[in-house]
Amino acid sequence: MKDIYINEIAGRLEVKPWQVENCERLFEEGATIPFISRYRKERTGGLDDVAVAEIRHWSDVFAEMEKRKETILGTIGQAGTLTDELRAKIENCVDGRELEDLYLPFRPKRRTRATVAREAGLEPLADRMYTVSVSDPVAEAVKYVGDKVPTVEDALAGARDIIAERISETASTRETMRNIFGTRRIVSKATKKASSPEAMKYKGYLDCSEPLSRIAPHRLLAMLRAENEGYVTVRIDADPEKCGNKIYYDFCQERRYPSGALAGQIREAIDDAYKRLLEPSISNEVIHQAKEKADMESIRVFGENLRQLLLAPPVGQKNILAIDPGFRTGCKVVCLDRQGNLLHNETIFPHPPANEKIQSIRAISSMVEKYGTEVIAIGSGTAGRETEEFIKRVPLPQGVKVYMVSEDGASIYSASEIGREEFPDYDVTVRGAVSIGRRLMDPLAELVKIDPKSLGIGQYQHDVDQTLLKEKLDNTVESCVNSVGVNLNTASPYLLSYVSGIGPVLAANIVEYRTEHGPYRSRKELLNVKRLGDKAFEQCAGFLRIPGSDNPLDNSAVHPECYHIVEKMAGDLGVSTEELVGNEKLCAGIRAEDYVEGDFGLPTINDIINELKKPGRDPRESAREFAFAEGIHTIEDLVTGMELPGIVTNITAFGAFVDIGIKQNGLIHISKMGVRGLSDPTKVLKLHQHVKVQVLGIDLDRQRISLQLIR
């Protein structure tokens, strides 16, 4: 990668150029983001996975820019208009808009008014007027009257068209207009379609105006969605007269002031350039740039929500009874073993209209006893609260805990190809119940099977840049999977596919080998897997865990390339590797400086020591039970001032949505979180966090609930 790009990335991300350069080299060597951030800290200066992912993103952006430059240089070169100065400007450009501005005057165009004027032979007249080389444009225009140009006014109009296009394609003029537009207000005006009832969802955007530089990302995206659906028109309220004056002033600064009739012709061309060419183009550009920033913020929030959801506390390997609740169709019940395998399923009808409560209690009691149920998972959707209350009436063995589990995405999984592949002989209701139980057991392992956009945690997710969104979400899933680590002998191919260096094909091969040869006994055995070579092994081995392996390090985050260092540590302490692993007292006596060697510096050695103290430690917390307030089932049961327990279900830029045990989630606006000047709700709340809230307002007509955070 060129130095100009390396320096630009370093400046944007506030890191050192050598850190960017080393990351680039590692990418070229085939290293993944998790591997680089975890096992190559010496080469990156300790950059975390977020920073490495950002470097990768901008590396890809500039790689595409370099291809674009080659195309532009080729096009201009073929036209014979490429100067050394222009080539240098293009080659040293690191801004996409600036690059396109440089190319704009040379870009092949559709037939324009200026094109017609040039074909009529009016470019020399336009040149003389543009360079202020003529004092009487009317007298000069007479020379161009002929078959193609009937009148003097036609000649002047054609020259003005050429000048207008030239001004509109001047890079400095376009940048000046961008700067002006960026300080103005964005305005939305209602259209005729806004009178329809459907437009009421955009009530706050039908006629509004806000400074573009300060508009909240979610408000801008809502405004643009309203425009896309035809309810409003959106524009920037730049002042045409002031913009025209600025363009005219800059024009005159670069050459001598035009006088007399020429001044009028130039001003007329500038006003036309602004109104017909610059204003629409720059307005769209500035709004698009503002949307890009709004997209980035929304995608950041989505990514953070996804990270919290994937790293939600697991209950671990337990015998689980999971229920997908329902009224008329009944509650689908499944029993899972500690590996998540389906042992049994049946349907009970404890709710209206069947009201088979006694039979349902007997069925639940029988299943709990027969399958040794340790935990009960209840889906949080329709009939969830009623089912929870029903289960509380069942005489359960001591120690059996009950959890409400978000159903978001369960129906997507149950109807997906993955769901059909895992349970080909069962219908969607069984698959949905299994998903509910498994996501309580291990949210990360189950949720990777579902498109993140189906998990109900986004903000205008369908309006943002889908390529950037996918990149962010893929990076987030990959980061979460590798930060936790994966059990090589129990992981599904879908979970394995997110492990550093593996992907779908190798994941399938790993599972196939496991099926044919039994559980893996060591990490080295991975090298026997079809198409898994030394490079893939290097990238994935440290993130895979093998409980009960012959080598205890195989169940830790210590990379096999560093096993010899641990063996030396153990030897120096006079103990075996088995005795050292997990012994914090022994680990406390290790001097990291004594084991620095080659590419493995202090950061790596300290990581090894920390891992030896608590090998394979799961960074996630343990799951906690939760209970909604009794007697609260519908919005009609709420009273202003009431204090209730709740669970955070979604976090946006403007606040957090909380499940308080009824059909409608309440909203804690960012201003009601108890922190003055708060700009990011994720600084206060986390997804699935248990909170206590106070009801501030109830809108029965719109089915909306306003809440205030208590704790």
Which are the contacts of 40, defined by CB distance < 8 A and separation ≥ 6?
26, 31
pLDDT digits (tens, 9 = 90+) for 274-294: 999 999 999 999 999 999 999
- How many CB atoms within 10 Å of residue 291? 19
Task: Report pLDDT for 669.
Answer: 94
Is 594 a member of any domain? Answer: yes
**CATH number assigned to the domain comprising residue 52:** 1.10.10.650
640 plus 587 within the same structural domain: no
**CATH number assigned to the domain comprising residue 502:** 1.10.150.310
Q: In the listed set 557, 578, 613, which residue is the last one of a domain according to the structure? A: 613
586 plus 640 within the same structural domain: no
Task: Report pLDDT for 679.
Answer: 85
Give the count of domains, the chain.
4
Residue 143 CA to its chain's centroid (Å): 62
Is 109 a member of any domain? Answer: no
372 plus 498 within the same structural domain: no
Q: In the listed set 56, 89, 122, which residue is the last one of a domain according to the structure? A: 89
Q: Please report where in the chains the tokens 């500038």 appear, as a residue.
A: 270
Is 426 a member of any domain? Answer: yes
486 plus 435 within the same structural domain: no
Task: Report pLDDT for 623.
Answer: 79
346 plus 406 within the same structural domain: yes
Which are the contacts of 17, defined by CB distance < 8 A and separation ≥ 6?
3, 6, 7, 10
429 plus 495 within the same structural domain: no
Is 78 a member of any domain? Answer: yes
565 plus 497 within the same structural domain: yes
Q: How far apart (Å, rounded) are the C-alpha atoms in residues 98 and 90?
A: 9
644 plus 573 within the same structural domain: no
Task: Report pLDDT for 60.
Answer: 96
185 - beta bridge partners?
A: 211
**Closest C-alpha among 568, 671, 677 to residue 612:** 568
Q: In the listed set 55, 89, 123, which residue is the last one of a domain according to the structure? A: 89
| Alpha helices (H) along 95-170 | 96-103, 113-119, 123-130, 137-142, 152-168
Residue 427 φ then ψ, to 5°: -85, 180
484 plus 604 within the same structural domain: yes
> For the range 516-524, what are the long-range contacts, defined as Cβ-Cβ under 8 Å and sequence gap of 24 or more?
519/489, 520/488, 520/489, 520/546, 520/549, 521/546, 521/549, 521/550, 522/546, 522/549, 522/550, 522/551, 522/554, 523/488, 523/549, 523/551, 523/554, 523/560, 524/560
Is 384 a member of any domain? Answer: yes
**CATH number assigned to the domain comprising residue 648:** 2.40.50.140
Q: How far apart (Å, rounded) are the C-alpha atoms in residues 21 and 7?
A: 9
Asked if 616 contacts 542 with a C-beta cutoff of 8 angstroms, the reply is: no
DSSP state of 196: S
Q: How far apart (Å, rounded) are the C-alpha atoms in residues 391 and 614?
A: 38
Walking along the chain (711 residues) 10 residues at a time, the average pLDDT comes out as 95 97 97 97 96 96 96 94 95 95 91 95 96 93 95 97 96 96 96 91 90 92 94 95 95 84 95 96 95 92 90 92 96 95 96 95 97 95 91 93 89 90 93 95 92 82 90 94 95 95 97 96 97 97 95 96 97 95 94 94 96 88 81 88 90 89 89 88 88 92 91 81
Is the Cα dihedral 653, 659, 664, 666 positive or negative? Answer: negative
**CATH number assigned to the domain comprising residue 408:** 3.30.420.140
Task: Report pLDDT for 108.
Answer: 87
509 plus 412 within the same structural domain: no
Asked if 669 contacts 687 with a C-beta cutoff of 8 angstroms, the reply is: no
607 plus 639 within the same structural domain: no
Domain extent at residue 324: 320-441
549 plus 668 within the same structural domain: no
Is 567 a member of any domain? Answer: yes
Task: Report pLDDT for 625.
Answer: 78
Is 398 a member of any domain? Answer: yes
Is 224 a member of any domain? Answer: no
